[in-house]
Amino acid sequence: MSYIVPVGPYHPSLEEPIHARLYTEGEVIKDAEVFVGYNHRGIEKLATERNCIQTLVLVERVCGICSHSHAFTYAMCVEKINGIEVPKRGDYIRVITAELERLHSHFLWLGIACHIIGHDSMFMHIWDERELVMDLLEKMTGNRVNYAMVTIGGSRRDVSDELRRELLDACDKLKAPLDRITEIAVTDKTIALRTKGVGVLTREDAIRLGAVGPHARASGVDIDVRRDAPYSAYGDFEFGVPVVDSGDVYARVVVRALECYESIKIIRQALENLPEGPINLGNKLVKIKEGQAVCRHEAPRGQLSHMVVGDGSINNHRVSIHVPSFKNTPTIPHMLRNNTVADAGLIIASIDPCFSCLDR
Amino acid sequence: MQEYKRIDIQKDQIVPVAERMRREGRYLVMIHAFINKDGQMDVSYEYAVDPEIESYHVVGETTLPSIAMIYDVAAEWPERELNELFGIEFEGLDTSKRLFLPEDMLDPEGRGQIMVTPLSELVEKNRKEGTV
């Protein structure tokens, strides 16, 4: 018997608006469609009415999880157009914030994945450890989300020696819980039963459909903007890019868990080699020169790109924001095919979707 | 550092460039658009040729060939978005359904793409509909 099963727009597992229409034969999904746009706020339009400092505040509100990534990428575009060189210390602080953001984002997703699987004790354990990262972010930036750490020409807040030591200690403290989480994620039978062979995206499909970030790396596509096209201070650090070939939900769990280790590695290197000097160029409001720039950043969910066009006035002429979920969401129907309705929620959530980012 | 290389092309080169990039295994970063200072549409196809971005610009055209048959949904979604924001037509692209914006955004004359409609006009439209 054929059925059309609607899922969302109030998503059953993530509190985010996406509507998926599943075409099923019995319990098996034969085809699917996704519908987005429930949260479009016209941020690109609003950006044309704002100067660069106001835009930093605006683009941070694109997403609650990767807010720093948006401000970071937008600032890089304006700095490129205006030929501004960011002080090294400012760059390092941007990178530390970006990697802490990746840690909290991956912990958040790993927790949610466990919750959907039905492993709630693991969910609570992971979110408990995530609080350590959130506390560090709060101490460093003053906020749990929307950190406001970026300004045109550097970072807004410095890292004191005391905070630097505390962050270094935290890198050690995070190691044991992360080992435990990774071990459980990799070896636990409940997780394996719900994730292995579920929602497979082959390497060929990932490349053809343009998947990015951990989602692509879990399908064996070895891409990472931090390594392939280094920007800011990323060229100064050594880190690995975990890639897993199986392309199922299990691979997405493993890739994200392993990426947490690499983020800690980057944070440690940045803190140990934190350069002396200014953190910014004075927090001034600049006119955006006539010109155009595109910058890419490896946000927690994958490659994020901003395009900024300046016309010599105080306001942006155009800001175009393209987020990783824009690339990953269209892969959902391909992953859903030939899986069961019971796994649909987990498969949709496995790309770590952000519909707030996607709708902008 | 990420470098940005601008290359101006004609409309009929869009598909051959996309085919070459696909053959070389290049990643389509994005398709962007804006209206330049001369009031012309500037559409750019950004390809990652790491560590560089090669940006192929087509200026002054509002009807373009779709490259969705080459880059699949990685091109289809950006093209649909640009159709909604700027009213750019992509030949061969199904735009019968809206991707992001409400179905009733367009007025009877077909205007309402938010990036080319003044903000004041959009506010006025919403006020009439009682949504602000």
User: pLDDT tens for residues A225-234?
Assistant: 999 888 988 9
Give the pLDDT confidence score for residue A14 in this predicted structure. Answer: 66
Q: Which residue has the higher pLDDT, A127 or A356?
A: A127
User: pLDDT tens for residues B28-86?
Assistant: 888 989 888 888 889 999 998 878 888 999 998 888 999 999 888 889 999 988 888 88
Kindly state the percentage of chain B with pLDDT values over 90: 20
Q: Which residue has the higher pLDDT, A215 or B99?
A: A215
User: pLDDT tens for residues A104-133?
Assistant: 999 999 998 888 888 888 889 899 989 999
Give the pLDDT confidence score for residue A342 in this predicted structure. Answer: 86
* Cβ separation A37–B98 shorter than 8 A: yes
Task: Name the residue ranges covered by the structural domains of chain B.
Answer: 3-100
Helix (H) or strand (E) holding A270: helix A249-272
Cis peptide before A214 (omega within 30 of 0): no
Nearest to B77 among A305, A318, A326 (CB): A326
- What CATH number should be reported for the domain whose range is B3-100? 3.30.460.80
CATH number for the domain that contains residue A242:
1.10.645.10
Residues 5-44 of B with CB under 8 A from A: 6, 25, 27-30, 32-35, 37, 44
CA distance A299 to chain B (A): 14
Nearest CA in chain B to A309: B34
Provide the H-helix boundaries in A48-87.
52-60, 67-82
Query: ipTM score of the complex?
Result: 0.82
Query: Would you say residue A64 lies in a domain?
Result: yes
- Binned at pLDDT 50, 70 and 90, residue A239 comes out as very high
Nearest CA in chain B to A230: B1
As a whole number, mean pLDDT of residues A9-18 equals 72
Give the pLDDT confidence score for residue A120 in this predicted structure. Answer: 86
* Number of domains observed in the structure of chain A: 1
**Beta-sheet strands, E only, within chain A:** 2-7, 19-25, 28-35, 150-151, 154-155, 291-299, 302-310, 316-322
Residue A313 scores a pLDDT above 90: no
Query: Would you say residue A196 lies in a domain?
Result: yes
User: pLDDT tens for residues A255-294?
Assistant: 999 999 999 999 999 999 999 889 888 877 788 888 888 9
Mean pLDDT of chain B, nearest integer:
83
Full domain range(s) for residue A139 = 40-325
Kindly state the percentage of chain A with pLDDT values over 90: 37
Query: Would you say residue A23 lies in a domain?
Result: no
- Binned at pLDDT 50, 70 and 90, residue B131 comes out as low
Mean pLDDT of chain A, nearest integer:
88
Give the pLDDT confidence score for residue A11 in this predicted structure. Answer: 66
Give the pLDDT confidence score for residue B1 in this predicted structure. Answer: 67
As a whole number of angstroms, the distance between CA A262 and CA A127 comes to: 19
- B101-109: list long-range contacts, CB under 8 Å, 24+ apart: B101/A37, B101/A40, B102/A37
